[in-house]
Amino acid sequence: MTISKELYKVTLYDFWCHPLADGTTSFFTEDIEDFQERWIKCGVDKGRVERFLRSKAGELVTDYHETFNDEELNIVQRDTCPIYDEKEFVLGNVYFWVSSATGFRVWMHADRIEFYFKWIKFKQEYLRVAKVKALGLNECFYHRAEKYCEFFPAECECSPVMEKLPIENSFVSICYLLDRYFSNEAALLKDTRKFIVTKRELNVLFSNFVGC
């Protein structure tokens, strides 16, 4: 049975996208006040915060180029969303790549990752969104003697020994991250029946991580 719930969509400029094809990225939250408080604590630029507050107050404001002030790019949007399904997944001792839009890749390890997925319809868009909690998260480098590599072991000719360098011990997303679009309701429902977490989801979600 499909339930409905009020959600907020926050559309922000994507600083991690390719410089030749810049754009926006979207996040979703059930509590806009909690999102605002935790997001600002992450060290957000003052001008960006001012634009967010104006949009939240009802003004049409985007975080993109000023000439693109249209409703679809409005920073804060609200809708009563059908929730088609919700699922939790837990992975332990996980190694995965995180890639940027420019092709830079980082090999990561996490002791434990917890996912909470929702399949929703926000306005006219069918979406899969997720919250993520990562414990014992580390960036991994490979080397042998003086030779240094940043490759997956199977791709590295120097039979590397792994060395883990801590970035932060843990992260938790302060909102739902956009994971995937669907063309229609039927495609979304099909995904709810067969979905499992793969390295694709790890790459997408950690590339768009918003956490404190």
- Give one DSSP letter per residue of 84-118, joined into a string: EEEEEEEEEEEEEEEE-TTS-EEEEEEEEEEEEEE
Tens digits of pLDDT across the chain (212 residues):
689 999 999 998 876 555 555 677 888 999 999 989 888 887 778 988 999 999 999 999 988 766 566 788 899 999 999 999 999 999 999 998 888 666 677 888 888 999 999 999 999 999 999 998 888 888 776 544 333 334 333 333 332 333 343 445 678 888 898 899 999 999 999 999 999 999 889 988 887 665 44
DSSP-based helix, strand, coil % in the chain, nearest 5: 25, 50, 30
Q: What is the pTM of this model?
A: 0.81
Return the pLDDT at 163.
Answer: 39
Rounded Cα distance, 86 and 181, in Å: 16
Return the pLDDT at 15.
Answer: 63
Rounded Cα distance, 180 and 182, in Å: 7
Cα four-point dihedral sign 14, 206, 47, 75: positive
Whether residue 171 contacts residue 210, with contact meaning beta carbons closer than 8 Å, is answered with no
- Token pair in block for residue 88: 């939790």
- For residues 17-26, b (16+ Cβ closer than 10 Å) or e, as one string? eeeeeeebbb
**CA distances for 147 relative to 97, 139, 161, angstroms:** 21, 18, 11
Return the pLDDT at 17.
Answer: 58
Domain boundaries, the chain: 3-207
Residues 6+ apart with CB under 8 A from 76: 8, 9, 10, 32, 52, 55, 56
**CA distances for 124 relative to 60, 72, 171, 183, angstroms:** 19, 11, 31, 10
Helix, strand, or coil here: 203? helix
Return the pLDDT at 66.
Answer: 60
Return the pLDDT at 149.
Answer: 38
